[in-house]
Structure 1
């Protein structure tokens, strides 16, 4: 029986691998719009798709990001300035894309732009902290998608949304996980809405990788800054050791579990863009596959216990 089940499992994975191999043709006639291309996944994806022959529209927040991509990529790549929080900026890029793609439409948009700070326990933050991150990580995804959705419908193309394993389980306070849960919900509803138009909507749920989102210096400075700004009574609630524990967790566990091979994520993005039969969801990273996603299916009492023992510092008041 064991060998029979093993054979079935092997057959399934071989079948899926063969089924997912074919790629779309006419890459040179397909435009792909990628946000958040200054660094990290977006930057690598823009370069990778350009090498594969796609006509990439790489949206960057900084002039430096735009200039570096122009220098390192072919003349087929177009770099553009984009602030996903600005309706005017989103509309301006969308109008330029419409002029560029013409009647063929836009093959894909990859919503990659995102930030990870400010992040902290919920009562360390203000509503403005929440609004800032939601405007980038969630409202920005929705705004960019809606701005080019008619062009994607025309091409019967793809929407690729970059969420996170923290769109499945909330292991930290603050707006980051809220924004990623929202991206998951938007992704699922859009997938159902767009199916009738031949548009595929795919979701990337990475685990921990070495990008600005998991940069230990950025995360540590964020925690210190928020701690210093907090009222004394809130600091007293958490206890004097809480800051030290939080910084140790960032320096130790976040750094250790973050994978340096960003191409694991980029290859999933590329597959979502170029495969004839893309997957609905991709979960790059061993921590995503074997820790975070299984944890998200466990009973709450089990997942809460594991998180408080392994991933979340405990405040003095509840020790």
Structure 2
């Protein structure tokens, strides 16, 4: 029997068209929530690791297979007007916002010399600015609902080697989470961050087998992460069971971060 711990709540998930965001959207729908799926396009992505046989957009699956209300809003999270439209359409359709999951993100390979200024600005615009903008415009409604904000960052927020833009953006997300926690705690709004390790999603398509093997070695458990692993933690953090978890950065990494002293 599916859990209904989020029944009657409205959840906004950015980057919901594929991978982790898609599974987070499904998990909240399974728990009884109405889900707003925000991404540039609602076309599901496919890749060698995940969603290779997907043909239906996330919101269609939620309505047809989970029998829950769902709305797609085309959104560029780096654009303030687009984010304001996302919030407005959500409130018009569902009356408010209970949970915001900031999942939208990009990844570019490269060091400081090969990373162009344009790539730097584009990645930070989505990964960091987008998290701020979505929180900024959703917070008035989340405060009213005494709801939750969950930011999806990465274990790479605290270690190098993935490129300056990605490392900086994710470190910013973790610390933005803490600052919002300070701001919103008195309003009974919980703000937390999830930092996944290697998770099998279409965004990993760029990696060759050698890089994947390195990730397997870094991951202490005998498997790589699945999007469901992150989705389950997101649903928990937005639940009553996690009502005293606030300002935290939760590693969902199979032990990846345990290598660090």
* CA deviations over 1:198-225 (Å, ceiling 9, x no partner): 111011011111123333xx246xxxxx
Q: 1:145 — aligned with what? A: 135
Q: Does residue 87 of the first structure (1) align with residue 67 of the second (2)? A: no
Are residue 121 (structure 1) and residue 132 (structure 2) matched?
no
Q: Distance in 1 between matches of 2:56 and 2:79?
A: 21
Equivalent position SS for 2:84: helix
**1:157 alignment partner, one of 139, 147, 150:** 147
Judged with a 3 Å threshold, the aligned counterparts in structure 2 of structure 1 residues 213 and 67 are, in CA distance, closer, same or farther, namely closer
1:288 CA drift (Å): 2.9
- Give distance in 1, aligned partners of 2:24 and 2:102: 12
Q: Is 1:277 the equivalent of 2:242? A: yes
Seen in structure 2, the aligned counterparts of structure 1 residues 219 and 128 have a Cα distance that, compared at 3 Å, is farther
Per chain length, whose mean CA-contact separation is higher, i.e. which structure has more relative contact order (CA < 8 Å, sep 6+)? 2
Gaps of 5+ in 2: 45-54
1:153-200: per-residue Cα shift (whole Å, max 9, x none)?
Answer: 000111100111111222333200000011011111110111111111
Corresponding residue of 2:256:
288
Give the drift of 1:144.
Answer: 0.9
- Per-residue deviation, residues 79-129 of structure 1 (Å, max 9, x unmatched): 221111222211111111222343xx3111000000111x21111122222
Distance 1:271 1:212, change over 3 A: same
Q: Which has the larger radius of gyration?
A: 1
Corresponding residue number in structure 2 for 1:100: 93
| Alignment pair present for 1:30 and 2:23 | no
Structure 1's consecutive aligned runs of 4 or more residues displaced over 3 angstroms after TM superposition are 254-258
Match status 1:56 vs 2:24: no
Tell whether the 8 Å contact from 2:11 to 2:101 is kept in structure 1 after alignment: yes
CA distance in 1, matches of 2:240, 2:11: 14
Gaps of 5+ in 1: 1-22, 221-247, 299-319
Of 239, 250, 253, 2:211 maps to 250
CA RMSD of aligned residues (A): 2.3
Flag the 1:95–1:83 CA change in 2: closer, same or farther, 3 A.
same
Aligned residues: 238
Whether the 8 Å contact between 1:34 and 1:110 is mirrored in structure 2 is yes
- Counterpart of 1:316 in structure 2 is none
1:34 counterpart SS class: strand
TM-score by length of 1: 0.69
Query: Which of these residues, 92, 96, 101, is aligned with residue 110 of structure 1?
Result: 101
Question: How much does 1:260 deviate?
Answer: 4.5
Distance 1:287 1:209 in 2: 13
- 1:122 aligned counterpart, secondary structure: coil
Is 1:71 the counterpart of 2:68 in the alignment?
A: no
More strand by share: 2
**When the two structures are superposed, what TM-score results if normalisation uses the length of structure 2?**
0.83
